[in-house]
Amino acid sequence: MGLATRLEKLLPDITAVFARFPIPAALSVLLCAYINFVSVGSSWNGEGYVIAGAAAAFIAAGAAHLYAEGRDLSRVTGILLAFVAAVLAGAIGYFTEVFESNLLFLFAGLIPVLMIAPYLRDSAKQGALWLFNLHFGLAVLISGVVAVLFAAGLSAIAESLNFLFNASLPNRLHEHIWSTAASLIAPIYGLSLMPKDLDEEVDIASQKGTMLERGVSVLVNYVLVPVIFIYAVILHAYAVKILVERNLPQGQIATIVTIFALGGTGAWLIAWPWREQGTRLLRWFISGWFWLTIVPALLLAIAIWRRIFDYGVTPERYGIVLVAIWVAALTAYLAFRRNRADMRAILGGIAVLLLIGSAGPMGANGLTITSQVKRLAAIFETNGLLKDGKAVVAPNKLSGEAINQGNSILYALRDANGLDRLRPWFEGAEPDPFKTAIDKWDLVGKIAVFLGSENPQRPEDYVNFTSNVPLSVDLAGARRLVGPLQALQDHQPLLAKEPMTAFYDATTLTIHLETEIYNIPVKDLLEKTRARLSADGSRQPAITFEIAPGVTIAIDSIYGTSTSLGSARFWLILRQ
């Protein structure tokens, strides 16, 4: 018996997964290898974007493979389509600043594409699409459970070996275990569970008494639909209240209506097989759902228009606008189609809107940047902070409202990767924030100085450090290596009674190690850490210094200001 045959008997689904979904499977393997063997830090600026790009490419490639399979295209054509889709989605997910990408919109748009990809053909049946997505949802759920059990089991084994035999296990072993579960086990196992018969339709009559019929039927008939009707009554009552009191809706109404629209449409999709056999309330819901969305959609439009007019565009408000457009289109569509509504149109419509909003100058981040830069320019010009297109420090103290609005805009630009749009304002300024800032947080603080903020954030006022390369320490003569310890804020006095704890208050970091207690002044801790930071912020291992005779602390990560500690994670090296 050959090796290939043995592997096939041991792992019967693996070869089938690589044969059916070669591009997503290869991406999963490559991502797992990157996380475990290439990535050396935990910074979102590095590996985070690789993970985001790979995840987007994985979903897009999977959708392309299913599209090709649904249309019975050749294997080569399917692979080419999947490769192109992976490159496009991966680029948008990785080069977020270049494409002005919003990852939330990107992934939210790719998911419904994956849900309808095999059925983008004239011969597709609604019952087959519904059953496929039931199996798809179960595949995601089961693969997640398997991945967690896999990682938890291996972690438990590792800890048992360490506890029972004092085994010398590799550093960051648990991180490798869990990252492998997330990047390899869950995706590959999930792909193996994807339904193979794309034309099989749901038949509620034949499922009478089964787990599917009893479980989902109870959910939609007696839970989801009644809750949605109650929700609809509340929203319509609120609309009457607005008319009576002649007050515009509060900002929170946009979130409430968005949940109602998305949740109600989701319930409509889930309840579709019971459109003729469900309770009377459910049948009313299926045929009249669009009537329930008209008034809430108007409330949504009014609420979001007011927020954008007052505070400009943000990705959250942009998303609510997309929901409003989708609800309006959905209302018109369902009013025309009723029970004959095509689920592909419902899911495809929101997918198109979300993908349009995921990147580009007209996307969520692009419009946010344009809108917020205009608002900030208006504040600068009104208060004399712009001369000949260049920023100057506030000549007079700005009002608290102006400072708060300016800081809020800066935070919005930072989150949307739009601070670089302000660079021309500060060219030639002294100092130029873009030349002296060490990261985006620091850049926001330095630009805020021009607004006259009373407490501008300066690099000498804080420490924000995470080691990004392995630490090499000569342990000759050391009797113990303890850690890692995570310092907790001192609000639970009982912590001091535990064998090994670390907690801090406003002035002191206290470390309890069995019978020994070490007290480190927070100010000294931060000053010594700051003094050992690399000048250019490049690759740097954990920072070490002595806190007591024969006791060395190795700081893996720490955050704090000149007056307080925010968090700290470290090791202790105890010598003879």
Please, are residues 34 and 84 in contact by the beta-carbon 8 Å criterion? no
Pairing of strands 500-504, 488-489: parallel
Q: What is the mean pLDDT of residues 254-259?
A: 84
pLDDT band at 43 (very low <50, low <70, confident <90, very high): very low
Say yes or no to pLDDT of 345 above 70: yes
Q: What's the pLDDT at 536?
A: 52
DSSP 3-state assignment of 517?
Answer: strand
Say yes or no to pLDDT of 500 above 60: no
Say yes or no to pLDDT of 7 above 60: no
Per-position DSSP letters for 217-277, written without gaps between them:
HHHIIIIIHHHHHHHHHHHHHHHHHHHHHT-PPPTTHHHHHHHHHHHHHHHHHHHGGGTTT
Q: What's the pLDDT at 25?
A: 96
pLDDT band at 576 (very low <50, low <70, confident <90, very high): low
Say yes or no to pLDDT of 496 above 50: no
362 against 463, higher pLDDT = 362
Q: What is the mean pLDDT of residues 442-461?
A: 67
Q: What's the pLDDT at 207?
A: 65
**Tokens for 493?**
């006095």
- Residue 472 has a CB neighbour count (10 Å cut-off) of 7
Q: What is the mean pLDDT of residues 51-80?
A: 96
